[in-house]
Amino acid sequence: MTQLTAPDGTPASRLTFGAMQFGGTADADNSRAMFDACRGAGITHFDTANLYTEGRSETLLADMIKPQRDSLVIATKVAFAGGAGRINILEQFDVSRQRLQLDMVDLLYIHCFDPDTPLEETIDTMAHLQAQGAIRYIGLSNFAAWQVMKAQAIAARFDTRIDVIQPMYNLVKRQAEVEIIPMCVDQNIEVVPYSPLGGGLLTGKYASGGTGRLSTDDRYATRYGLPWMHKCAADLAALAADMNVSPATLAVAWAAAHPARPRPIISARSVAQLQPSLDAEGFEMTPELYERITALSQTPPPATDRLDDL
């Protein structure tokens, strides 16, 4: 499997910090405090994107990483808007590099699959950036397994490969287990999944009457609106209470404990909100507890849809 490392050889941490809220729901002071807390916890992998908070995420992150840049893995994403054509990728990446104050970014993702652009053009552009030394690793986010494999075949023609993918993955969104994660194991691709807390559902706050993205954002309300998902979250919260730990700690630790050794992306608005996720770094997830938590959720059917094969 691809071994993500910083320029000086420092390995990527087991957890990844996502700076999606920097300059948005997290102001500059809270963003800085979370970065410092992450570094104190040993996190070396930081993830952002060209479109996050209209560029403020990359701009704020730039000043934080500067003193220790060579020992960090810095990832950003392009082509969520405007398509994954060569011109758009290069233009957005140039803007991201300016904001991050970096000539080279360790990991660049294509943010989502673009059905209107030949994949050869997209991968050729990424291979060109890699050959120039502008990026070290090639990543894909929100791609289906067949799209990744098509990209991998194309990448081989350009003498490179897909190194990392970023799918959604958490206790109530386990579709990645069906084809994406097994594909990554087979292809030696790193898995850096987002939303280990299910948009906040798995923190337990909604079960206790709290509010958040699921109550204010229609997309998240739809994504996590099924009754069984809310029951799973309530059951996880009850288990966490019995263990005297945060449900968020269990949710992140569970996502990280998959045999494929993914590197879940954690995020928050403040250090207080982030701390339970950070605590997953040192949490001991025994095989018995892993199976117990897994049983709270619905296991997706296999790719063949033959339930008798489970």
Closest CA to 149 of 106, 113, 121, 193: 113
CA distance 179 to 146: 9
SS3 call for 15: coil
Instruction: For residue 295, give Cα distances in angstroms to 12, 75, 221, 263, 300.
Output: 30, 33, 24, 22, 12
CA distance 168 to 144: 11
CA distance 193 to 206: 23
Residues identified as active-site: 52
Largest CA distance in the chain: 55
Q: What is the C-alpha radius of gyration for the chain, rounded to an integer number of angstroms?
A: 19
Tokens of 43: 């996190």
- Residues β-bridged to residue 164: 139, 190
Tokens of 301: 């059917």
Q: Quick one: angle between helices 28-40 and 271-278, nearest 10? A: 20
